[in-house]
């Protein structure tokens, strides 16, 4: 709380210097509309589809992954003043450890779904772009990638919004039915796309696809690769060894990988495809636009995965040495070097 007090004080000082004063979320609501803040983009989108302009709906400006968001003083004040804060739950909102929001204003959209939440199989600390070092441990939290769970979260939001705006309850119920239909259709389309892979091994760039994998029966394994970073020598070594155990020809990324990385993967017989989790606000379009793009990418790539095209994957015997092959031009110290001609 001491840290929070200092953050709020700093935000107020900065606002005073610029001639602006921070306004709590509830105080800024026009026409008496309740202020609703969502912790990630899927929740924001669902709430907007359900309530329209009957609420003052907000999603904080977050750079990077909302699961790693740390509210500043002004954002903390907005959360505390909001009429309703939509949480993903499943351990998603780590900021709850140091921002106190009245419990009766928090909606955990996965509360009651504990039996359907997935544990993380491992805890790994690693670098994650601008957010810095962190670990994946505890419960998997990208729940909305299972369209059935996404529908459950939408229902929870609809219930809370109906209590907040009882005069809009009938409209919200009608919109919920439409949203459920869209999620169900996407679920069917996605199931068909993944069925088309015929159980072929798949690799995920990052351990954020657990619910997608579980829902659609994907034969997948996860790396800890970032799309904007070049994998190091050890990462490529581990990848080649993984291919021996799990001979995938498709790697699913959260965002477009670097051209250099995609090219080296292709040399190993592995194609890249982007499946955006839509955790943050997209540059254009809405949630279903992002998911439609994901679906289109899967449909375009699956023929390459199941066609039996010869792969450059290593054979079944042994493991790759860190001193071996052209894929490792920067071999570690101690590896034998070719003799000069």
Mean of the pLDDT values across residues 68-74? 95
Measured distance CA(196)–CA(313) in Å, rounded: 22
Per-residue pLDDT reduced to its tens digit, 137-193: 589 999 999 999 999 999 999 999 999 999 999 999 999 999 999 999 999 999 999
**Residue range(s) in the chain whose domain bears CATH number 3.40.50.1980:** 2-117+138-185, 197-306
Give residue 121's pLDDT band: very low, low, confident or very high (50, 70, 90).
confident
Q: Is the confidence at residue 323, as pLDDT, over 50?
A: no
| Per-residue pLDDT at 122 exceeds 60 | no
Question: How high is the pLDDT of residue 224?
Answer: 94
Radius of gyration of the chain (CA): 23
According to the model, what pLDDT value does residue 306 have?
A: 57
pLDDT tens digits, residue range 211-268? 999 999 999 999 999 999 999 999 999 999 999 999 999 999 999 999 999 999 999 9
Q: Which CATH superfamily includes the segment(s) 197-306?
A: Nitrogenase molybdenum iron protein domain (3.40.50.1980)
Residue 137: what pLDDT? 58
The confidence band for 35, taking pLDDT boundaries of 50, 70 and 90, is: very high
Q: Which of 9-13, 90-94, 176-180 has the lowest mean pLDDT?
A: 9-13
Taking 50 as the threshold, does the pLDDT of residue 321 lie above it?
no
pLDDT band at 277, cuts 50/70/90? very high
Closest CA to 45 of 74, 88, 91, 82: 88
Say which CATH architecture domain 2-117+138-185 belongs to: 3-Layer(aba) Sandwich (3.40)
Task: Judge if pTM exceeds 0.85.
Answer: no
- Dist. CA 275–CA 216, nearest whole Å: 14
State the burial class of residue 98 (Cβ atoms within 10 Å of its Cβ: 0-12, 13-18, 19+): middle
């Amino acid at each position: 709380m001491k840290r929070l007090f200092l953050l709020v004080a700093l935000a107020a000082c900065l606002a005073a210097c610029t001639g602006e004063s921070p306004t709590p979320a509830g105080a800024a609501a026009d026409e008496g509309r309740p202020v609703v803040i969502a912790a990630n983009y899927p929740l924001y989108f669902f709430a907007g589809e359900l309530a329209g302009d009957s609420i003052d709906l907000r999603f904080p400006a977050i750079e990077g992954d909302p699961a790693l968001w740390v509210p500043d003083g002004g954002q903390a004040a907005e959360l505390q003043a909001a009429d309703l804060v939509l949480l993903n739950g499943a351990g998603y909102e780590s900021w709850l450890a140091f921002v106190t929001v009245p419990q009766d204003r928090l909606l955990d959209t996965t509360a009651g779904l504990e039996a359907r939440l997935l544990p993380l199989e491992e805890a790994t600390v690693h670098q994650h772009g601008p957010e810095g070092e962190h670990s994946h441990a505890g419960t998997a939290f990208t729940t909305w990638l299972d369209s059935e769970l996404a529908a459950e979260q939408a229902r929870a939001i609809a219930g809370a919004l109906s209590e907040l705006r009882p005069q809009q309850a009938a409209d919200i119920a009608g919109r919920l039915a439409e949203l459920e239909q869209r999620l169900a259709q996407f679920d069917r389309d996605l199931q068909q796309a993944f069925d088309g892979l015929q159980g072929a091994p798949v690799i995920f760039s990052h351990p954020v696809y657990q619910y997608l994998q579980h829902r659609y029966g994907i034969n997948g394994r996860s790396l800890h690769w970032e799309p904007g970073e070049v994998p190091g020598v050890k990462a490529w070594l581990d990848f080649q060894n993984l291919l021996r155990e799990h001979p995938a020809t498709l790697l699913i990324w959260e965002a477009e990988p670097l051209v250099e990385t995609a090219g080296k993967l292709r040399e190993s017989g592995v194609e890249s495809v982007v499946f955006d989790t839509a955790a943050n606000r997209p540059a254009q379009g809405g949630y279903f636009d992002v998911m439609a793009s994901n679906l289109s990418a899967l449909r375009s790539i699956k023929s390459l995965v199941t066609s039996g095209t010869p792969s450059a994957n290593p054979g079944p015997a042994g493991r790759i040495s860190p001193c071996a092959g052209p894929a490792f031009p920067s071999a570690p110290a101690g590896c034998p070097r070719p003799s000069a001609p």
